[in-house]
């Protein structure tokens, strides 16, 4: 097979299906990555696909990259809920017109519900914190090589398209698709960019390290 080129407003028809079908490895080097595709990449990591992302600090959703491993819990919301239930308990418990049986049962219901919420939340957080084969390196834009390289298993694509809705489906972009046997130089370039990003990253996320 020979190298294939394509230009148009729908380069996503080559990139998006390859991303969705990847089973073993994904490398994404793109200065712009929208939340939609970041979520898809995280999902692929949850499926066991090894995912490496190098992107730029210009992304507006940097917080999403920082929390990609799911380590940011919602303990604050749980404490608020617990406090609200506790206040409600105190309020209703003090009202004289509430039947005695409810005053007896309500504390058990309150603590039972609180315990159930705590257990459920702990399990959910444990599921979210499971180690994922996901690495993310966010590099300051002034040091970022504005290359776009995509590796999806045995598919290697370079070009002008960012991994965004506009880049894949709205802007006129050009891409080059490299067949097996002609991918070595691009893969070497990708490795160099990744190694450089590991040293210069302002945000570094490795979900296998916890």
With residue 90 as reference, give the H or E element that holds it.
helix 75-94
CA atoms within 13 A on the CB side of 157: 28
Structural contact between residues 56 and 31, judged by C-beta atoms closer than 8 angstroms: yes
62-119 confidence digits (pLDDT tens): 888 888 887 444 455 556 566 666 666 666 656 555 566 555 666 666 667 766 776 7
Q: How confident is the model at residue 123 (pLDDT cuts 50, 70, 90)?
A: low
Intra-chain end-to-end CA distance of the chain, in Å = 41
Higher pLDDT, 17 or 128: 17
177: Cβ–Cβ under 8 A, 6 or more apart, which residues? 3, 4, 5, 6, 14, 155, 156, 157
pLDDT score, position 181: 87
pLDDT score, position 5: 96
pLDDT score, position 141: 82
pLDDT score, position 68: 82
* Orientation angle between helical segments 100-128 and 75-94, nearest 10 degrees: 180
């Amino acid at each position: 097979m020979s190298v294939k080129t394509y230009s148009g407003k729908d380069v996503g028809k080559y990139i998006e299906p390859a991303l969705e079908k990847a089973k073993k490895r994904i490398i994404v080097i793109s200065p712009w990555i929208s939340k939609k595709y970041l979520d898809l990449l995280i999902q692929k990591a949850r499926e066991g696909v090894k995912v490496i992302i190098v992107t730029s600090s210009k992304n507006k959703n940097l917080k999403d990259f920082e929390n990609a491993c799911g380590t940011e819990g919602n303990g604050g919301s749980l404490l608020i809920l617990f406090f609200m239930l506790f206040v409600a308990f105190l309020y209703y418990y003090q009202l004289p017109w509430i039947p005695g049986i409810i005053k007896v049962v309500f504390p058990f219901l309150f603590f039972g519900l609180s315990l159930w919420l705590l257990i459920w939340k702990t399990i959910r957080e444990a599921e979210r914190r499971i180690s994922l084969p996901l690495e993310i390196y966010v590099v300051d834009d002034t040091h970022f090589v504005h290359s776009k390289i995509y590796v999806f298993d045995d598919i290697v694509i370079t070009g002008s398209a960012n991994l965004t809705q506009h880049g894949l489906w709205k802007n006129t972009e050009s891409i080059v698709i490299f067949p097996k046997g002609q991918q070595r130089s691009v893969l070497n370039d990708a490795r160099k960019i990744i190694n450089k990003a590991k040293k210069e990253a302002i945000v570094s996320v490795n979900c296998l390290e916890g």
